Structure 1
Amino acid sequence: MGTTAVVLGGGYAGVMAANRLAAAARPGLDVVLVSPGERFVERIRLHEYAAGVRSDATASFESVLHPAIRRVRDTAVRIDAAGRCVRLAGGRLLNYDYLVYAVGSGALKVPEGALTVQQLEGAEDTRTALEALAPGGRVAVVGAGLTAVETAAEIAAHRGDLHVRLHTDGNPLPQVTAAARRGLERSLRRTAVKLQSGVRVSGSGDPHLRLQADVVLWCTGFGVPDLASASGLPVDQEGRLLLDPNLQVPGEERIYGAGDAAVIASPEYAYLRMSCAAAMPMGADAAGNILRGMDGAPGIRHDSGFGGQCVSLGRSDGLVQFVRADDTPVRVHLHGRLAAVQKEIICRMTLRWIRSEIKRSGAYTWPKGLRMTTAEQTQAPAGR
């Protein structure tokens, strides 16, 4: 009998996991990727697309997926862990021997009338709304994180005829050092982004009237689908699937998780934030542990860390905050054109890393996290 591995989600984590599984070329292993989208979305470029700088922020799935992967264009609505099957929105049932839960994230609840850029549909709506604005139009971006800052700067740099204001309830990019933030604020001033910090923007009422803006972009964070909770799987208070350090669901040895919609429920992994930089290593390790389980070998603890956070502030300006493996910032940071180039290199390399797994399972490597002993790295055997 063959073995079926179903991957839910066609983002960075899901595609990486599917490629690592398929490229291993195990006899009888059938890899199925379930994703509703027609194309792979480069989410790290959606702010460029929304601002009108980039003509497209997608790639064909054929260009990023191993040819042996079967792709199902649909959405999972329920997982039956006991029966090892997934019900799809179209009514189909998919049986699995192993499952990778990598359904990703989207915007948190958005006020009526506001737009988002966290997913392709929202970025498309934002692009259309901005194109319709005449010179002098007012744009309000709400949020203090990476998405909000990059979006505000990109719009202002590309559309110097618009008035762009960034509303934050605290400091913009609170994770960077004070010195790096001063450089960030200088860059925002150069692009004519007006910073309104320290004031929380309510999500009630008409955001256009409250913020006196023609277009309001809501970039206050990410939420995840309720698929895991609706399926009776363990989740945290944000609805993310709970995992052990082997990226398995406790008590469900055939279900693994990766990416924004999953979280390792151990304090030593609290530094792993929702990001492409965390999603791809998780996807790779989830796939690796499935392959180990098929061989009867023990799974390994996930081990990934960060090297820096790259921020684009328009096409010719940026910020790179270097960090320790646990994502805490160090004193070293870059600004200006060099930082913008570094950000662009990382964006381009992301697709190359994903495609590297098509040629050889295990080709992708990443910065390691906090040091662990050999005994800590090896856990009980993964399920077969």
Structure 2
Amino acid sequence: MTTTPRIAVLGAGYTGLAAAKLLANRTDGVVTLVNNRDYFVPRMRNHQVASGRPSRRLPLRGLLKGTGIRLFVDQVTGIDAAAREVVLAGAADPVGYDLLVYAMGSQADLATVPGAAEHAYGVAAVEQAERLHERMRTAGTVAVAGAGLTGIEVATELAETYPDRTVRLVTSGALGAQLSEPGREYLHRAADRFGIQVLEHATVGKVGPDGVLLADGAHVAADAVAWTTGFTVPALARAAGLAVDERGRLVVDSTMRSESHPEIYGIGDVAAIRNRDGRLLRMGCGPGGLAAVCAVHAITDREAGRTPKPLRVKDDALCISLGQRDGILQPTELDGTPKGKVRTGRPVAAFKRFILRTTGVVFPRYPGLVAAGAAGRA
């Protein structure tokens, strides 16, 4: 490593932006941040954007002012791990690095099911959520495919905002499978209250302009289809010859360092993140934020000649909004198994609003405050 290391961070979502700003503040490295757009978007609010609430686009140059971080607004087309260079679509010269933080995030998987890319509306990107909102201006019926956290939040948000429309929630499993029995019962009551038509154990085989065709041949009519079933990650790590898992996520150790290329760290959804006892964390903003803090600590510790501490996480929790005035908070094991007492109602909705404000307003501006709060866990 050179005296002044070159640190490249790929991706300016929750984890990448935080990592870049923390590294610029806590190391002597020259930090370069690469992102495909010149603004940060609080992705956790996309279900609200789909229902018509305004999106928030925070200009990256304003968020990076005074940090010394170099910003490249460009599309990453490749990583040359041997040369330690990042290839960009619009730049003649690659971005060289001594350390690379890979934080490219995930996107809606619209390629697995026929017709999804042509006819469904994802909500993983704010632009997709805005297109769904435009479609909801005239759609009388919407089918939400997938009943994970995103699917539940999209379905309840749309049902609350458009009480005169028909909302159908289609899931290949049971509704609330990730919740305890009291949590599942509460979710079913909420769906009934919103008038959501729930189709359980229904696998989508094809998406068309008039709805979805299930694997058993049944047709679910809909003017619009919101796609929340599954996420995929960029193929950059696999194409670069880095060690990845079956989903293409970077395989990292408990300090977020690549197991095949020690000069590369992976954080957020693009990494298969494990804590110190080897248990895999779920994809999501919460685990991703802890991973970002852990990676920064590991980089600074190694820079100072110290042995870095592994990620320390014992448990997790799911905080699900059910419209604007209701919610479910479910404590879980790291593998997603529900445990403990589930919390519900308006207090959870208020807590979710606090989370959205923290991650969407405070976090991108002052990641050090969030890092301090996470210090005991990462």
**Same fold by TM-score greater than 0.5:** yes
Is the alpha carbon distance of 1:11 and 1:334 closer, same or farther for their aligned partners in structure 2, counting shifts above 3 Å?
same
8 Å CA contact 1:21–1:288 kept in 2: the answer is no
Alignment of 1:29-40 (within 5 A): 29-40=29-40
Q: How does 1:87-236 map to 2 (within 5 A)?
A: 87-91=87-91, 92-110=93-111, 111=116, 112-133=118-139, 137-203=140-206, 208=211, 210-236=219-245
Distance of 1:173 and 1:355 partners within structure 2 = 34
CA–CA distance in 2 between the matches of 1:75 and 1:206? 31
Aligned partner of 2:80 in structure 1 is 80
Gaps of 5+ in 2: 213-218
- 2:284 matches 1:275: yes
Q: Is the 8 A contact 1:20 1:288 kept in 2?
A: no
Q: Distance in 2 between matches of 1:147 and 1:361?
A: 23
Which amino acid in 2 is paired with 1:117?
V
Identify if the C-alpha distance between structure 1 residues 2 and 331 changes in structure 2 by more than 3 Å, giving closer, same or farther. closer
Q: What SS is found at the alignment partner of 1:239?
A: coil
RMSD between aligned alpha carbons?
2.2
Partner Cα distance (2:8, 2:304) in 1:
18
- Alpha carbons of structure 1 residues 97 and 123: separation in structure 2 relative to 1, 3 Å: same
Contact 1:353-1:364 at 8 Å conserved across structures: no
Distance 1:283 1:267, change over 3 A: closer
**What is the rounded CA distance, in whole Å, between the counterparts of 2:149 and 2:87 in structure 1?**
35
Does the 8 A contact of 1:271 with 1:327 survive in 2? no
SS in 1 for 2:147: coil
Report the 3-state secondary structure (helix = DSSP H, G, I; strand = E; otherwise coil) of the residue aligned with 2:362: helix
Q: Is the 8 A contact 2:15 2:268 kept in 1?
A: yes
Which of the residues 20, 23, 27 maps onto 1:21? 23
SS at match of 1:273: coil
Distance 1:255 1:121, change over 3 A: same
How far off is 1:307 after superposition?
Answer: 4.3
Deviations 1:170-222 (A, max 9, x none): 11232110110110111111111111112112136556263210001111011
Distance 2:159 2:178 in 1: 23
Q: SS where residue 342 of structure 2 aligns?
A: strand
The residue type equivalent to 2:254 in the other structure is P
CA distance 1:66–1:262, change in 2 (3 Å) = farther
- 1:366, CA displacement in angstroms? 5.7
How far, CA to CA, are the matches of 2:106 and 2:241 in structure 1? 19
> 156-165 vs 349-358, which deviates more?
349-358
Q: 2: CA distance between counterparts of 1:152 and 1:178? A: 21
Structure 1 stretch 162-171 or stretch 57-66: which is displaced more?
57-66
Residue 346 (1) aligns with residue 352 (2): no
1:3 matched residue in structure 2: 5
Q: CA deviation at 1:332?
A: 0.8
Q: 1:305: Cα distance to partner?
A: 4.7
Q: Distance in 1 between matches of 2:95 and 2:321?
A: 41
- Matched to 1:44, the amino acid is M
Distance 1:365 1:267, change over 3 A: closer
| C-alpha contact (below 8 Å) 2:11/2:104 kept by paired residues | yes
Tell me the distance in 2 between the aligned counterparts of 1:199 and 1:307: 28
Map of 1:379 onto structure 2? none
- Per the normalisation by structure 1, the TM-score is 0.88
CA shift, 1:304, in A, is 3.0
Amino acid at match of 2:179: V
Q: C-alpha deviations, 1:220-278, integer Å up to 9, x for none?
A: 01100101011111111111111112211123221111000111468944441000001
Secondary structure of the structure 1 residue equivalent to 2:308: strand
Percent of matched pairs sharing the same residue: 35
Give the TM-score taking structure 2 as reference length.
0.89
Structure 1: unaligned runs, 5 residues or longer: 370-384
Alignment of 1:214-363 (within 5 A): 214-264=223-273, 268-324=277-333, 327-350=336-359, 351-357=361-367, 362-363=371-372
- Distance in 2, matches of 1:187 and 1:127, equals 22
Whether contact under 8 Å (1:306, 1:367) holds in the other structure is no
Structure-1 separation of matches of 2:32 and 2:370: 16
Give the number of the structure with larger relative contact order, counting CA–CA contacts within 8 Å between residues 6 or more apart: 1
Please give the alpha-carbon distance, in whole angstroms, between the structure 1 residues aligned to 2:260 and 2:239: 17
SS at match of 1:161: coil
* Structure 1 SS opposite 2:203: coil
What is the rounded CA distance, in whole Å, between the counterparts of 1:244 and 1:203 in structure 2? 38
User: Does residue 45 in structure 1 map to residue 51 in structure 2?
Assistant: no
Q: CA deviation at 1:308?
A: 2.1
Name the SS for the 1:322 alignment partner.
strand
Alignment CA distance shift 1:362-1:129 (3 Å): closer
